[in-house]
Structure 1
Amino acid sequence: MSEPTFSGVLCPLVTPFEDGTVDETSLTALVHWLVDRDIDGVVPCGTTGEFASLSRAEFRTVVETTVDAADGRVPVVAGVAGTDSSTVTDRIEFAASVGADAVLLTQPYFHTAPTPAGDLRFFEMIAESSPLPLVLYNIPACTGQPIAPETVAELSENDAVVGLKDSSGDFDYFLELLRVTDDQFTLLEGYDQHYVSGVHAGSDGGINALSNVVPEVFAEIRDEAFAGETESALELEQDAFPGLFGYCMEYGFATVAKVGLEHRGVIESAEVRPPLTPVPDDVAEEISTLVAGLAD
């Protein structure tokens, strides 16, 4: 199993739609645009990519289009979440076949009584046959519970499990993961407003939805944070994200990111799929104004 090669800022890509179908042209343009703006990796079919609203064929289209567009310039970490091992395995095998570098995986969701032992068994089952490195994905708001730190610690000893993205927003949880794993285990902050604090504490960076919209800002924050300029990095972070992040929490990360990307002319449409809904016109104008101020 190859060592992880990702750190810095990875972007959980939106999935552009046009008239109800995946817009491959806009997706390709988005990947090129992000790579040109110094983003360190791309993550198709994550939460911001509306993976749960994609068919099997669309999942494959999005992953393959992303890998082709990245063209080896940055790593591709494909989201492969699912509620059963056969679906997850099928997604991993496809991602491997088209050249993805790693996969991002939550524990199974919807089940009402999962346990740390059950999560451990599931991840070990997937890791045993995976042709790609696994990055765990902690997002308890969507899965019903966190991946227990002791489970992460045990899985970190598995050569196939190379890291974790934490989107819990619980920074104490993130600090505990830093304590119970070694430096070889990649820890990525998924809560945009904790990026600098995570780096300061010892993280490897983040997978952050707003990097879709203002990759230049994230790249500058990354550079300052990893150079040890924590105070200036925090100032940049606090100036940039509270407004947009607030809208993301209210309307959804994919929805807000797509409004920003349409405003910047990167994708053709801000269309989202149910259960997501478009933001009201006045809110879209406010989001666009915030994005314009950051991008200037």
Structure 2
Amino acid sequence: MTTTAPDRFGGALCPTITPFADDEVSTAGLETLIEHVIEGGIEGLVPCGTTGEFASLSTTEYRTVIETTVDVADGRVPVMAGTAGTSVAGTVENIAFAAEAGADAALITLPYFHTANDEAGNEAFITAVADEAALPCYLYNIPSCTGAPIAPETVSTVAGHDSVVGLKDSGGDFTYFQDIVERTPADFQVYPGSDSLLAWGLLGGAAGGVCALSNVVPEAFAELVAAVERGDIETATDLQAGITALFQACVAHGFAPTAKAGLAVRGVLPEATVRPPLVELDGDARDAVETAIDDVLTAVEASA
């Protein structure tokens, strides 16, 4: 199936958390979050990714999150729906639902239980999904969850498919990121998924970034992107330093728990609830997150 890449994806994209209240998805909380990040300058939403705890959602909850995100965004920013699955059929079904809900693109991972016994299997999986996909597909390289990276050779090959239009790289290996940029066509959109690499990714040819902490301090990510675009590298690196300090909490405690703690600290959401096996941050960790947030926001004010 041939699809067309959306022209609007670029800049700071937010992989939105999924708010919970009384162990249910809070659509009111999700609406509050989306308004918060759009007002903060975020240029696209990525629901039901890793930070969105997609693997802890029921099918009904997953669909509620996608539909709510599209409805609240209301065309103001595009939506790249997380559609990961462990089978071709399941992934294609998720993409079909996201398309029906009004999403603009799909984010797909390699299977995260039965991993490929040969790299040819990963290419076959991506191609089979792309052949049936109802939306443009962005690959999601996250080897910590899938067991292995998507080989650069595989990315180069599938980048020639009409429906495979980009890649989010959460591997944290900047050499890999650069290799992907060099091996793929100019219109193949590559995004760093590691918050600590955003500035360097943008300088190295990234279309933007998909960064967990943009839930918490969207204005910092929007300003960093703007600084790079206007050639103000000093401001960009100052902001990157602050973001990287906050990112260390994500490395230590996990993306969803840290982002939710940060949102509670800022008063955006009342709860920082996560689902097992994730756990909330303790008091000392939350205090460290609060200090790091204050430092980032100070850097944003200094850049104004």
Q: TM-score, normalised to structure 2's length?
A: 0.94
- Letter of the structure 2 residue corresponding to residue 102 of structure 1: A
CA contact (8 A) 2:40 2:217 kept: no
**Map of 1:270 onto structure 2:** 272
Cα distance, 1:195 vs. partner?
0.7
Deviation of 1:115 after TM superposition, in Å, equals 2.3
Post-superposition Cα deviations, 1:158-212, rounded to whole Å, max 9, x if no partner, equal: 1100100000000000010011011110000111111111111111111000100
Give the Cα separation in 2 of the matches to 1:13 and 1:115: 33
In the alignment, is residue 285 of structure 1 matched against residue 303 of structure 2? no
Distance in 2 of aligned mates of 1:153 and 1:252:
30
Is 1:107–2:106 an aligned residue pair?
no
Q: Is the 8 A contact 1:27 1:267 kept in 2?
A: no
- Equivalent in the alignment of 1:149: 152
Q: Could you tell me how far 1:72 is from its partner in structure 2?
A: 0.4
Q: Distance in 2 between matches of 1:40 and 1:112?
A: 33
Amino acid at match of 1:107: L
Looking at structure 1, the residues matched to 175 and 189 of structure 2 have their Cα atoms a distance apart, in angstroms, of 17
- What is the aligned partner in structure 2 of residue 243 from structure 1? 245
> Superposed, which structure 2 residues align to 1:107-126 within 5 Å?
107-126=110-129
Counterpart of 1:10 in structure 2 is 13
Q: Deviations over 1:45-101 (max 9, x none)?
A: 000000110110010000000000100000100001111122211111110001000
In 1, the alpha carbon distance for the partners of 2:213 and 2:144 equals: 19
Taking only aligned residues, the RMSD between alpha carbons, in angstroms, comes to: 1.2
Q: Retained in 2: the 8 A contact 1:163–1:185? A: yes
The match for 1:137 is: 140
Mapped partners of 2:278, 2:91: distance in 1 = 24
Identity of aligned residues (%): 48
Deviation at 1:282, TM superposition (A): 1.9
Task: Tell me, yes or no, if the aligned pair for 2:156 and 2:180 is still in contact at 8 Å.
Answer: yes
Residue correspondence of structure 1 range 161-176 to structure 2 within 5 A:
161-176=164-179
- 2:236 maps to 1:233: yes
Give the C-alpha shift of residue 225 in structure 1: 1.2
Residues 102 and 113 of structure 1, relative CA distance in 2, 3 Å threshold: closer
Q: Aligned letter for 2:211?
A: N
Structure 1: state its 5+ residue gaps. Answer: none
Q: 1:244: how far off?
A: 1.5
Q: 1:133, 1:113 → 2: CA distance? A: 23
- SS of residue matched to 1:241: helix
> In structure 1, how many angstroms separate the alpha carbons of the residues matched to 2:231 and 2:128?
39
Distance between the aligned counterparts of 1:292 and 1:114, measured in 2? 46
SS in 1 for 2:250: helix
Separation of aligned partners in 1, 2:123 and 2:75: 32
- Give the stretch that moved more between structures: 242-251 or 270-279: 242-251
Segment of structure 1 superposing worse, 283-292 or 49-58: 283-292
TM-score normalised by L of structure 1: 0.97
CA–CA separation in structure 2 for the residues paired with 1:52 and 1:3: 26
Separation in structure 1 between the aligned mates of residue 235 and residue 69 of structure 2, nearest angstrom: 33
**Counterparts in 2 of 1:148-227, with a 5 A limit?**
148-227=151-230
Partner SS state of residue 271, structure 1: coil
Number of residue equivalences:
295
Is 1:31 aligned to 2:40, yes or no?
no
Which segments of 5 or more consecutive residues in structure 2 lack a partner in the other structure?
299-304
Q: Which amino acid is 2:182 matched to? A: R
